[in-house]
């Protein structure tokens, strides 16, 4: 069995304890991908020490020079795209046409972040005093602890790691225990790109090791993607220890379809939004809000299309929907479906584990649609993270917006309509960080802000230029060349 190591201070090393854990293919539980270092406190301490020491020199490297290395990383991602996509699919399940897109997101982010190193602009403003200049600069924060989920094991880390390093920070990265192999390849690419020793460090391990990062006194910033439950705990710790933190958490995203919409387009959108990545995206379409005028017609079409989706190993070319990440997740999904039916939801299709042929070897759940859902139902309110779609009837456009906003989360949203007035009202009134018009709730682009409100996040936005608000601090400089004492914030009038 292949064994994989941590990457600390430019060296590939075992966990100090010698302990390991196994990574298993969710499409075939007999396929053990390898053994990975099970990091503990001593490993965290070593990686953080290396990152802290490396920060002293890395922050002094001119930003465009840092950008050149990030650009090289992007070039290597291009070269290893198909290889890395297959590694991702094997360890987390989604089909290769999706994992190739995952790597492309990292490529786009690398090139964008590299170019932004020439645009880390400050703001200059006139002074209220004679012979005085006011300047401001972006400066790096320090050592960043990055913790990410398994569903986008290359794209999401790239959103955090590449801008953090481009801005002059150093990084200690913990990938999910469900997708550590992708993290190892990420480290290989950073090493080959020439990122100096200690600037990027990789630690594989389980959840408790992430807590060691969050609690570590020499970590200056935490960048987290994962569940709202864990994110809120991280926020509490960072508040107590005065750490900067960026939290990208859960979602319960809705697609609205009005009676004037292109129904075929809306159908394609909800199939992709609800069942792409087997519904395991924070932006997945979890709720479908249908206008009463097209409710029954749309449900009939949705049933036929959802039942025709091809489940299978994501490494096979004809697979449309892969497995869920593991049996614990599958059992949780099934529990939510049973609750939904008990509370009055009507099962349209799916609702059970898929065990036909080779599917019995993996964690496969049939694409599931539950109709006649009400706002009081559990399935309307709670994130499931699986291929389950709750369908709700709306009496009007206004009612649809009300249903959309009746949610503890606010990440992504979607509306299908040909009425431009209603489209702009939706843009104004929907409570979410992202809104799509005539497109599904998934499909973020690397150069645009990404994030949400309510239970989804803590106000920061990844992606685009806004990610540098997370990974830099502002430094204000006043230069007085009057050769005399001038007193600001004193009544000089």
**How far, in Å, are 91, 253, 273 from residue 442 at the CA level?**
22, 9, 6
Is 407 in the active site?
A: no
Is 248 in the active site?
A: yes
Residues ≥6 apart with Cβ < 8 Å to 318: 310, 312
Q: Assign 31 a pLDDT band (cuts: 50, 70, 90).
A: very high
Same domain for 144 and 27: yes
Same domain for 186 and 80: yes
CB atoms within 10 A of CB 4: 22
CATH number, residue 273: 3.40.309.10
Look at residue 16 and tell me if it is in a domain: yes
What are the helix (H) ranges across 382-462? 397-405, 420-429
Residue 446 has pLDDT above 80, yes or no: yes
Q: What is the pLDDT of residues 394-418, one digit of tens each?
A: 999 999 999 999 999 999 999 999 9
CB hemisphere CA count around 281 (13 angstroms): 28
Residue 491 has pLDDT above 80, yes or no: no
Q: Give me the phi and psi of 200, to 5 degrees please.
A: -125, 130
Same domain for 223 and 317: no
Q: 3-state class of 354 per DSSP? A: coil
Q: What is the pLDDT of residues 216-249, one digit of tens each?
A: 999 999 999 999 999 999 999 999 999 999 999 9
pLDDT of residue 1: 86
Q: Total domain count for the chain? A: 2
CB hemisphere CA count around 239 (13 angstroms): 8
pLDDT of residue 184: 98
CATH number, residue 175: 3.40.605.10
Same domain for 340 and 264: yes
Look at residue 481 and tell me if it is in a domain: no
pLDDT of residue 488: 87
What are the helix (H) ranges across 80-179? 81-92, 96-116, 155-166
**Contact between 428 and 413 (Cβ < 8 Å):** no
pLDDT above 90 covers a percentage of the chain that reads: 98
Same domain for 201 and 118: yes
Q: Which of 248, 383, 407, 462 is catalytic?
A: 248
Same domain for 92 and 232: yes
Listed residue (352, 398, 343, 395) closest to 371, CA to CA? 343
Tell me which residue has tokens 């008990």. 342
pLDDT of residue 398: 98
Q: Which of 144, 238, 245, 282 is catalytic?
A: 282
Same domain for 243 and 164: yes
Q: Which residues span the domain enclosing 347?
A: 253-437
Residues 317-347 as b or e (16 or more Cβ within 10 Å = b): eebbbbbbbbeebbeebbebbeebeeeebeb
**Contact between 328 and 338 (Cβ < 8 Å):** no
What are the helix (H) ranges across 135-179? 155-166
**For the chain, what is the radius of gyration of the CA atoms?**
24
Residues ≥6 apart with Cβ < 8 Å to 268: none
pLDDT of residue 490: 80
Q: What is the pLDDT of residues 250-294, one digit of tens each?
A: 999 999 999 999 999 999 999 999 999 999 999 999 999 999 999
What is the Cα–Cα distance from 358 to 461, expressed in whole angstroms?
A: 41
**Contact between 54 and 121 (Cβ < 8 Å):** no
Q: What is the pLDDT of residues 135-186, one digit of tens each?
A: 999 999 999 999 999 999 999 999 999 999 999 999 999 999 999 999 999 9
Look at residue 187 and tell me if it is in a domain: yes
Tell me which residue has tokens 């492309």. 104
Q: Give me the phi and psi of 305, to 5 degrees please.
A: -70, -40
Average pLDDT over residues 409-437: 98
Same domain for 242 and 196: yes
Tell me which residue has tokens 């779609």. 389
Same domain for 291 and 239: no
Q: What is the pLDDT of residues 290-346, one digit of tens each?
A: 999 999 999 999 999 999 999 999 999 999 999 999 999 999 999 999 999 999 999
Look at residue 373 and tell me if it is in a domain: yes
Same domain for 95 and 50: yes
Same domain for 294 and 146: no
Same domain for 12 and 157: yes
Helix pair 155-166, 96-116: axis angle to 10 deg: 10
Residues ≥6 apart with Cβ < 8 Å to 79: none
Mean pLDDT of all residues belonging to the chain: 97
Average pLDDT over residues 349-371: 97
Measured between its terminal Cα atoms, the distance across the chain in Å is: 78
Look at residue 54 and tell me if it is in a domain: yes
């Amino acid at each position: 069995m292949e064994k994989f190591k941590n990457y600390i201070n430019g060296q590939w090393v075992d966990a100090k304890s010698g302990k390991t854990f196994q990574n298993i293919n969710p499409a075939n539980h007999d396929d053990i991908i390898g053994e990975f270092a099970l990091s503990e406190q001593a490993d965290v301490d070593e990686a953080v020490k290396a990152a802290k020491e490396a920060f002293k020199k890395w922050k002094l490297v001119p930003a465009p020079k840092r950008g050149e290395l990030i650009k090289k990383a992007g070039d290597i991602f291009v070269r290893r795209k198909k290889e890395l996509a297959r590694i991702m699919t094997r360890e987390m399940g989604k089909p290769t046409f999706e994992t190739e897109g995952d790597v492309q997101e990292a490529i786009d982010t690398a090139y964008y972040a590299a170019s932004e190193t020439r645009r880390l602009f400050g703001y200059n403003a006139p002074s209220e005093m004679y012979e005085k200049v006011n300047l401001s600069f972006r400066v790096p924060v320090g050592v960043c602890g990055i913790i990410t989920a398994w569903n986008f094991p290359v794209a999401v880390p790239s959103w955090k790691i590449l801008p953090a390093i481009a801005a002059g920070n150093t990084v200690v990265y913990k990938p999910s225990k469900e997708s550590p192999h992708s993290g190892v390849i990420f480290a290989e690419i950073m090493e080959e790109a020439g990122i100096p020793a200690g600037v990027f460090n990789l630690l594989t391990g389980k959840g408790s090791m992430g807590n060691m990062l969050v609690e570590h006194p020499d970590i200056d910033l935490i960048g987290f993607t994962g569940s709202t439950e864990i994110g809120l705990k991280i926020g509490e710790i960072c508040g107590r220890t005065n750490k900067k933190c960026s939290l990208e958490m859960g979602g319960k995203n809705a697609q609205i379809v009005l009676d004037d919409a292109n129904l075929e387009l809306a159908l394609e959108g909800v199939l992709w939004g609800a069942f792409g990545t087997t519904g395991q995206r924070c932006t997945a379409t979890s709720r479908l809000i249908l206008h009463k005028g097209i409710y029954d017609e749309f449900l009939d079409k949705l049933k036929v299309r959802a039942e025709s989706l091809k489940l299978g190993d994501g490494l096979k070319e004809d697979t449309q929907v892969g497995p869920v990440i593991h049996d614990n997740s599958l059992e949780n999904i099934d529990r939510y479906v049973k609750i939904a039916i008990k509370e009055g939801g009507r099962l349209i299709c799916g609702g059970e584990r898929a065990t036909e042929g080779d599917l019995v070897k993996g964690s496969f759940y049939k694409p599931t649609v539950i109709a006649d859902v009400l706002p009081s139902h559990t399935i309307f309110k709670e994130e499931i993270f699986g291929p389950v779609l709750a369908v709700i009837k709306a009496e009007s456009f206004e009612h649809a917006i009300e249903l959309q906003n009746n949610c503890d989360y606010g990440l992504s949203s979607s509306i299908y309509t040909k009425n431009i007035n209603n489209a702009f009202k939706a843009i104004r009134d929907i409570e979410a960080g992202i809104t799509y018009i005539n497109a599904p709730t998934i499909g973020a682009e690397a150069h645009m802000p990404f994030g949400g409100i309510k239970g989804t996040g803590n106000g920061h936005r990844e992606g685009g230029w806004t990610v540098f608000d997370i990974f830099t601090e502002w430094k204000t400089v006043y230069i007085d060349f009057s050769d005399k004492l001038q007193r600001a914030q004193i009544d000089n009038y």
